[in-house]
Amino acid sequence: MSHEQLASIATAVTTGDKASAVAGTQQALAAGIEPLTVIDEGLVPGIREAGDRFQCGDYFLPNLIASARAMSAAMQLLEPELHARQQMARRLGTVVIGTVKGDIHEIGKSLVATMLAANGFEVHDLGVDVPIERFVSAVREHQANLVGMSALLTTTMGVQRKVIEALRAEGLRDGVKVMVGGAPVGEQWAAQIGADGYAEDAVGAVELAKRLASG
Ligand code: B1M
């Protein structure tokens, strides 16, 4: 039963049981469950539950790290599957993406990067804890027409604004569209800092990137 399989993947991630998260993901794929369904209905609820337990003090940092490792290991199986399902002949644009300085949350940003690449964008993933200047130099280096910034902490959201200011100061802002995302970020924040758009999840990020690249 697919619902039970997805629920057990979620539990494996929440409890930081990497072997079970990987085995459950393999079984779900073998059973024909779509990779995005495994992510949205198995892995993401699992990691969110870990976050909730952390927030209310039931979990500590090592628990959160174990959950993140379990999720990342399962994601490694799913990324090639996501790519394999998309065949884009046309290049839609060049994206520079990263998690901003001070922030090491990687999973959501990497999922967005994978989905963009799988949907026809050339993606340069700068990783996590990316300095402001690195976004700027990467836009130049890769002649990017899109910049994507992820921030998961209320304390690092402000760096997204600083990157936009730096792009403006370097005369690059008019040549690139800026998209932002991450749990504490929203439409209002995007408008406030002068970004071109916000997406709530990876599927929304692909839609937004397509819209921005064609506009
Ligand atoms: Co941290 N963490 N964490 N954490 N962590 C959160 C974000 C938190 C909400 C947990 C909580 O308290 N409930 C909280 C932030 C509170 C706040 O500021 N509002 C928090 C905290 C406090 C911290 C530390 C400060 C804890 C500490 O040290 N005391 C610390 C900070 C470290 C740092 O960055 N400097 C920390 C550390 C960590 C780990 C290292 C243990 C680990 C990350 C491991 C890794 O990434 N390799 C971790 C994790 C796993 C989480 C939670 C549990 C899960 C994040 C995640 O991967 N979600 C998170 C709780 C939560 O989010 N509910 C939490 C799954 C992922 C698929 O979703 O990342 O939201 P998400 O990405 C989504 C969308 O947001 C969107 O699409 C993605 C796919 O659907 N999206 C974009 C993301 N980027 C986008 C970009 C776009 C468009 C859409 O365009 C460019």
Both 148 and 56 in one domain: the answer is no
Distance CA 179, CA 160 (A): 10
Both 107 and 199 in one domain: the answer is yes
Residue 89 has pLDDT above 60, yes or no: no
Both 173 and 118 in one domain: the answer is yes
Q: How many domains is the chain built from?
A: 2
Model confidence, pTM: 0.94
Q: How far is the CA of 9 from the centre of ligand 1 (A)?
A: 19
Q: What domain range is 166 assigned to?
A: 93-214
Domain of residue 44, CATH code: 1.10.1240.10
* Most ligand 1 atoms within 8 A of CB, residue of 64, 69, 96, 154 to mutate: 64
State whether the beta carbon of 182 lies less than 6 angstroms from ligand 1: yes
- Per-residue pLDDT of 107-150, as tens digits, reads 999 999 988 988 889 999 999 999 999 999 999 999 999 999 99
- Per-residue pLDDT of 9-35, as tens digits, reads 999 999 999 999 999 999 999 999 999
* Most ligand 1 atoms within 8 A of CB, residue of 15, 96, 139, 152 to mutate: 152
Q: How far is the CA of 33 from the centre of ligand 1 (A)?
A: 26
